[in-house]
Amino acid sequence: MDHFLYKDGILHAEDVSLPAIAAEVGTPFYCYSSATLTRHYKLFDEALDGLDHLVCYAMKSNSNQAILKLMGDLGAGMDVVSGGEYLRAKAAGIPGDRIVFSGVGKTGDEMRLALEGGIRQFNVESEPELRLLSQIADSMGVTAPITVRVNPDVDARTHAKIATGKSENKFGIPIARAREVYDMAAALPGIDVIGIDVHIGSQLTELEPFEMAYLKVAELTRQLRADGHDIRRLDLGGGLGIPYERSNTAPPLPVEYGALIKRTVGDLGCEIEIEPGRLISGNAGILVSSVIYVKSGEGRDFLILDAAMNDLIRPAMYEAWHDIVPVIEPEAGAERQPFDIVGPVCESGDTFAKARQLPPLRDGEMVAFRSAGAYGAVMSSEYNTRPLIPEVLVHEHQFAVIRTRPTFDEIINRDTIPKWL
C-alpha cells in the first residue's frame, strides 16, 4: 500500500496534488510520502513484536537526511556501508549506538571515524578486515563490537547483480570456515565478538531462501556457543522485495517474514536486527516527469521524457520494471496504445519501457513512475551535465523540498582548469 492516489482525477501524494509540486519545483522530481514511510517501518517493527529487536533502515536505498530523520524519530537504527553514510546518519541525529557498519571494503579511516563517533557494531566481512579493525581499535584503546558476516551459499533467486549470499559472491566468509574465523576474532585485541551477520540479497519475493539461510545461522549459533563464544545478537540482513509490477503475485508480507524469523531463530535468546531498505522506501516514492515530445517512429511511437537514465538507472542497469501512469487520470475505458518510454540522454540504454500501454499523451503532460523511492535518487548522476533532480517530502497537506536542483553554474564551477591551460 502507498499514499499516491487519484483525487478528483489528479494524482496526489497524500493530500498534495503532483501538479502543485511541479509548479514550484519543475520536472522531473522525486516525491516521497511520509505516511508510507512510517507505515512500512511500523510493519517491520510490529512483525518482530515479542522479540528483543532493532529495525535498522538500510539507508543505501534512500539516504536523504529528511528520510533518515523521519526513520530515526520512529526508533529505527541505520545500516550504513560507507563513511559518508555514517556521517549522513549522524547529521540526521542518529546516535552511534543505533548505527551498524556493513560493507565489504571498509577502510582504516572509516573504522576510526566510526570508533570515534560511536558504533553499534561492525559487520566484518573478511579476515584482513578483522585484523585491521583489531589494530586500529587497539591503538585507540577502545573495543570494537563485531559480528562476522557469513556467506551461507544460499541462492536468493533474485537478479544476479543484487544476489549476495552465494559462494561465488564477494560478500562474507564461507559459513564452513566461520568457527575458525570466530576463534581468530576472539583472540585478537580490541575486538568484542557479539554475534552473527547474514544477508543473502535484495528484492527477494519468496521466503524459502531466508528460511534456508536462517536455519544455517541457528545451527552456527549453537556451534559457536559450544565453542565458548557469547553469541547474543543476530543481524539477519534485509532483502524482502516489493511488487514493482502490479500484475505479479505480491511478495511476502513483513508479518510473514517476522513469523519466519521467530520460527527459525526465535528460540535462541538473541537480540534480532533486520536491515530493510527497499520495502520501506521503494513504494514510498515516485518519480514525476513531463513529456517533451511524442515522436512517431518506424512501427512504434515514443514518449520522450525530461527524466533520463541518470535520474533513474534501474531500468537500464537491472532491466527493472516500474509502473508508469499519467498524472491526470484517464477516463474509464480510455483507449490505450503502446509507447516506448525514453529519456533524452544520448544512449540507446536510456529507455524506461518498451511497448508500454498508455492512453494518448501530449507534449507537456506528466507521468509518474511508481515504486521509485528506493535506489532512485541515490543512484542518480549528472551524466550529460544534467542536474540532479529535486527531492520532495510530503506530509499530509504540506510538502518541502529536501534536495534542491543545482544550477548549471554550480555544476560547472566544481571543475578546475589547471593554470597551464
Residue 357: CATH number of its domain: 2.40.37.10
CA atoms within 13 A on the CB side of 298: 0
pLDDT digits (tens, 9 = 90+) for 128-151: 999 999 999 999 999 999 999 999
Q: Is residue 141 part of a domain?
A: yes
Q: Is residue 335 part of a domain?
A: yes
Q: Which of 258, 274, 290 is the last residue in one of the domains? A: 274
pLDDT digits (tens, 9 = 90+) for 321-337: 999 999 999 988 889 99
Q: Is residue 84 part of a domain?
A: no
Question: What pLDDT score was predicted for residue 153?
Answer: 80
- How many whole angstroms separate alpha carbon 126 and alpha carbon 104? 8
User: Do 191 and 146 contact (CB within 8 A), yes or no?
Assistant: yes
Tell me the pairing of strands 53-58 and 77-80. Answer: parallel
DSSP conformational letter for 164: -
Which CATH number do you get for residue 171?
3.20.20.10
Catalytic choice (31, 56, 270, 346): 346
Q: In which band, very low, low, confident or very high, does the pLDDT at 205 lie, cut at 50, 70 and 90?
A: confident
CA atoms within 13 A on the CB side of 63: 20
User: Do 11 and 33 contact (CB within 8 A), yes or no?
Assistant: no
Q: Is residue 93 part of a domain?
A: no
Same domain, 260 and 122: yes
Determine the 3-state secondary structure of 56 from DSSP. strand
Question: What pLDDT score was predicted for residue 163?
Answer: 46
Same domain, 328 and 390: yes
Q: Is residue 62 part of a domain?
A: no
- What mean pLDDT is predicted for residues 221-239? 96
- What mean pLDDT is predicted for residues 189-200? 96
Question: What pLDDT score was predicted for residue 383?
Answer: 97
Burial of 315 (0-12, 13-18, 19+ CB in 10 A): buried
Question: What pLDDT score was predicted for residue 167?
Answer: 46
Same domain, 292 and 337: yes
Same domain, 261 and 297: no
Question: What pLDDT score was predicted for residue 162?
Answer: 43
Question: What pLDDT score was predicted for residue 244?
Answer: 78
Same domain, 297 and 245: no
Find the domain containing 20 and state its range.
4-31+282-412
Determine the 3-state secondary structure of 31 from DSSP. strand
| Cα distances (angstroms) measured from residue 59 to each of 65, 76, 81, 254, 348 | 10, 11, 9, 18, 31
- How many whole angstroms separate alpha carbon 130 and alpha carbon 145? 11
Question: What pLDDT score was predicted for residue 297?
Answer: 80
- What mean pLDDT is predicted for residues 61-89? 98
Give residue 278's identity as a one-letter amino acid code.
R
Q: In which band, very low, low, confident or very high, does the pLDDT at 200 lie, cut at 50, 70 and 90?
A: confident
Same domain, 262 and 164: yes
Mean pLDDT of the chain: 93
Percent of the chain with pLDDT over 70: 95
Q: Which of 250, 274, 298 is the last residue in one of the domains? A: 274
- How many whole angstroms separate alpha carbon 257 and alpha carbon 265? 12
Same domain, 114 and 237: yes
Percent of the chain with pLDDT over 90: 86
Same domain, 212 and 270: yes
Q: In which band, very low, low, confident or very high, does the pLDDT at 24 lie, cut at 50, 70 and 90?
A: very high
pLDDT digits (tens, 9 = 90+) for 366-396: 999 999 999 999 999 999 999 999 999 999 9
Same domain, 303 and 244: no
Q: Is residue 267 part of a domain?
A: yes
340 has pLDDT over 90: yes
Same domain, 151 and 299: no
Question: What pLDDT score was predicted for residue 41?
Answer: 97
Our count of domains for the chain comes to 2
Query: Is 31 a known active-site residue?
Result: no
Same domain, 295 and 363: yes
**Residue 57, strand partner residues:** 78
What are the cell numbers at 411? 555544476
Nearby residues of 70 by Cβ (< 8 Å), 6 or more positions away: 34, 37, 38, 393
Angle between helices 208-226 and 254-265 (to 10 degrees): 30
Q: Which of 217, 247, 274 is the last residue in one of the domains? A: 274
Q: H-helix or E-strand containing 314?
A: helix 314-318
Same domain, 134 and 250: yes
Q: Is residue 87 part of a domain?
A: no
Question: What pLDDT score was predicted for residue 159?
Answer: 45
Q: In which band, very low, low, confident or very high, does the pLDDT at 363 lie, cut at 50, 70 and 90?
A: very high
154 has pLDDT over 80: no
Q: In which band, very low, low, confident or very high, does the pLDDT at 170 lie, cut at 50, 70 and 90?
A: low
Question: What pLDDT score was predicted for residue 239?
Answer: 84
Least confident of 160-169, 237-246, 321-330: 160-169
Question: What pLDDT score was predicted for residue 249?
Answer: 64
Q: How far is CA 258 from the centre of its chain?
A: 19
- What mean pLDDT is predicted for residues 69-79? 98
Q: Is residue 57 part of a domain?
A: no
Which is higher by pLDDT, 167 or 95? 95
161 has pLDDT over 50: no
